[in-house]
Amino acid sequence: MYLGEAGSSSNRMKSVEEKNDEPIRKTLSALIVDDDALIRKVHLTILKSLGFVAQVASNGKEAVDVFRSGANFDIVFIDMDMPIMNGIETTKALRAMGVNCKIVAVTSRGTDVEMEDFVQAGVDFFHVKPLTVAKVIPFVERLQK
């Protein structure tokens, strides 16, 4: 049985078998943790544009509470400087709870000391703000594998 591809300039039609061989891309989920509403809005829009289902938390304690409520995410993007619980404290707490998804620190500082502290806390990757589509795409590809 052959199915045509609408708008295809090629006369070749993919068979159902070939279509079924294409990897199904799962919907990825993300948590954005930042106390700045502007940053949350920009990061949320970037992630949604890449097909993520994303949620936000405005500080580390909220992020911990979200995980405690039973939510799971493929990836967390977390700021450093936040009230109540900063990014490093939050990362440590999440890892202690057994959260093993990818955690990406996204901060304005980017000092060696901060990077070192974040890595010690259990973060997987580190980006200096601003987050961009180009910075997120490699994570999409990695998470889809």
Partner 1 sequence: MDAVTQLQRQLVDYTNSLFLEGFLDDQFNQLQQLQDESNPDFVVEVVSLFFQDSERLLNELAKVLEQQNIDFKKVDAHVHQLKGSSSSIGAQRVQRVCITFRNCCEEKNIEGCLKYLQQLRHEYSLVKNKLETLFKLEQQLLAAGGTIPLY
Identify whether the C-beta of residue 30 lies closer than 8 Å to the C-beta of residue 52: yes
Cα-based angle 9, 140, 110 (whole degrees, multiple of 5): 135
> For residue 76, which of 42, 32, 40 has the smallest C-alpha distance?
32
41 binds partner 1 (CB under 8 A): yes
Residues in the interface with partner 1 (CB under 8 A) total 16
39 binds partner 1 (CB under 8 A): yes
Q: Which is nearer to partner 1, 16 or 37 (CB)?
A: 37
Q: Which of 15, 130, 137, 142 binds partner 1 (CB under 8 A)?
A: 130
129 binds partner 1 (CB under 8 A): yes
Q: Which of 49, 100, 111, 144 binds partner 1 (CB under 8 A)?
A: 49
Helix axes 60-68, 87-96, angle to 10 degrees: 20
Q: Quick one: DSSP state of residue 26?
A: P
Distance (Å, rounded) from C-alpha 123 to C-alpha 95? Answer: 9
111 binds partner 1 (CB under 8 A): no
Minimum distance, C-beta of residue 139 to partner 1, in the bound complex (Å): 17
Backbone angles phi, psi at 3, to 5 degrees: -115, 135
Q: What are the residues binding partner 1 (CB under 8 A)?
A: 36-39, 41-42, 45-46, 49, 81, 108-109, 129-130, 132-133
